A and B are shown apart, each in its own frame.
Chain A
Amino acid sequence: MEQLLDLFDFGPVLDNSDVLLDGFWATIRLAIASAVLSLIIGTILVAFRVAPVPVLRWVGTGYVNVVRNTPLTLVLLMCSLALNDVLGLAFSKDTGTTYYWWAVLGLSGYTGAFVCEALRSGINTVPLGQAEAARSLGLTFTQSLRMIILPQAFRAVVAPLGSILIAMIKNTTVAIAASYAEAAAVMKGLMDLPSFTSGAIPLFIGVAVGFMILTLPTGFFFGWLAKRTAVAR
């Protein structure tokens, strides 16, 4: 029976805990930078998509449709292989830094399309009557946006943005395709070692728990926030 108990020996994983923690630290750095950048990209895109200028609307719609329907793996590969290697658009001399920023850019470009759709559906939840009432009170465009429409729209998008953030945290694993060494890459690297045999199940458990520590509290927090800020209609 001891062979079976050996399968749950956490020794090999604990020996490699520094590598694993480095991997998760890389995941967190990627996730935080992408969260910020994808919010910015999503906001710009949604401004395009609802703009009164048709050209901007077409560009926004085109971008969202193309990026949303392309697999993230391909987006990241295009960033690292096509844009970086072939076109030579490197961020810095250091390849590690360059691949990190390409992973951030690819991930946030992809997530930004989803953020844009969430924000747009948030604007859609504001009833037309609210905007009409604001205008008939004599509020200017900026005033009605600031005091009437955006406060209601922001509250409606808390839950979807939370879902997108969590999906993005999980999607950081795909950055392995863009040569960025995060938690999944560390896991694959350890699994590829022929000498690493008995630690396979503990390694999976460790990585899974690591991701649950990142995703579950975020989910509970956004669930609570969404309930708290919900618009009573």
Chain B
Amino acid sequence: MSQEANVLFDAPGPRARKRNHVLTVVSVLLLGGIVAALVLRLADKGQFAWRLWEPFLQPDVWTNLILPGLWNTLKAAAVGSVLALLFGVVFGLARLSDHAWIRIPAGAVVEFFRAIPLLILIFLAFFVPNKISPAIAESPLGTFQRVMVETFGGLFGVEINAGTITVPAFAAVVFGLVLYNGSVLAEVVRAGVNSIPRGQAEAAYSIGLRKNGVMRLVLLPQAITVMMPAIVSQLVVLLKDTALGFIIAYPELLQAGFKQVPPNFGNNIIQAGIVVAIIYIAINMAVSALANALERRSRRSRKTSAKTIGTGTGAPPAPGMALAEPGGKG
């Protein structure tokens, strides 16, 4: 029996064991009933027909639809992760700055992007430039806009045509993912550096290191070990959030597997949903397993006295609140 059960339950005696057996039988019957009802309903609607499942054994379906979708998902997640980490480190350290004129604007940016939904940020990138660019093109800033888009936009496929900017869905998804997850990671970085005992920084200053050296040589290397699980679990969130691209028709895994497969193969929505879900679950569980391995390793080879920031409960720390304490990891 696992540890959490021990807090609640004593080791079972003869009566408790008998009761547990009865409970087992009752719960198996109840759950079995629910599953049976679902299966009956599925069979009733003819959802076990082989022609609905068979498409997922055709190599064409995989090579033409699902795998390109998966590639787009992973591409958005990879670009988003790298840029979000960069954003997180920059703004996390900026929030720790001694200068109020850096600290306060950085804090405002981070809190703003954590307070509004990711989908709204994706809409911002996807719709707004297209709407406002014609007006800017006619203003004195028109040339500046064109030069900026032509210089930097090409990297993400942003195009300008007769003064109208078109942002591809990929760029919009990455934009949203970077700003939102970057802000969450900024909080993780800040909490990680703050979790290092004060004596470390004091000792580093007293041997003559400057601010830069204290941060770069003493605090950050320890903080990275502490933050690693939290960072990886945030990257799982980021990977899952790429599915929001579905709403603006970014051809990612969900769009390809769930929107494009069913109309071509007898409207097999349930089957497509199950296959797509299995792919997502497999990827996310693999990344989560990596996070757990990292946490175990950082706990084993502990070179710092700071507590690891837990992988948490999955919900990123909310605006206006401190990062959640490592709950029950001890």
Contact = CB atoms under 8 A, between A and B. Distances in A.
Interface of A: 1, 3-4, 6-7, 50-56, 59, 65-66, 68-74, 77-78, 81-82, 85-89, 113-114, 117-118, 120-126, 128, 130-131, 135, 141, 145, 149, 156-157, 159-160, 162-167, 170-174, 176-177, 184, 187-188, 191, 196-198, 200-201, 204, 207-208, 211-212, 215-220, 222-223, 226
16 contacts: A1-B140, A6-B135, A71-B243, A71-B254, A74-B276, A124-B3, A124-B328, A174-B119, A184-B120, A187-B123, A188-B247, A191-B128, A204-B128, A208-B112, A208-B116, A219-B320
Interface stretch (B16-24, B150-158, B199-207, B224-232): B16-24
Top-10 shortest CB links A-B: A124-B328, A219-B320, A71-B243, A200-B131, A166-B318, A69-B284, A121-B327, A191-B127, A170-B117, A223-B321
Interface string B271-299: 00100110011001100100000000000
Nearest to A54: B24
Contacts of B276: 74
Interface in B101-156: 111-112, 115-120, 123-124, 127-128, 131-132, 134-136, 138-141
Tell me what chain B mostly uses at the interface: helix, strand, loop, or mixed: helix
Contact of B24 (A55, A131, A165, A208): A55
Contact of A122 (B111, B117, B314, B328): B328
B215 interface: no
B20 A212 contact: no
Contacts of A198: 131-132, 135
A85 B269 contact: yes
A163 B315 contact: yes
A184 B119 contact: yes
Tell me what chain A mostly uses at the interface: helix, strand, loop, or mixed: helix
Interface residues on B, range: 35 or more
Contacts of A188: 123, 127, 247
Given A124-B4, A160-B324, 8 more contacts: A4-B136, A50-B4, A53-B20, A71-B254, A86-B47, A156-B327, A198-B131, A208-B120
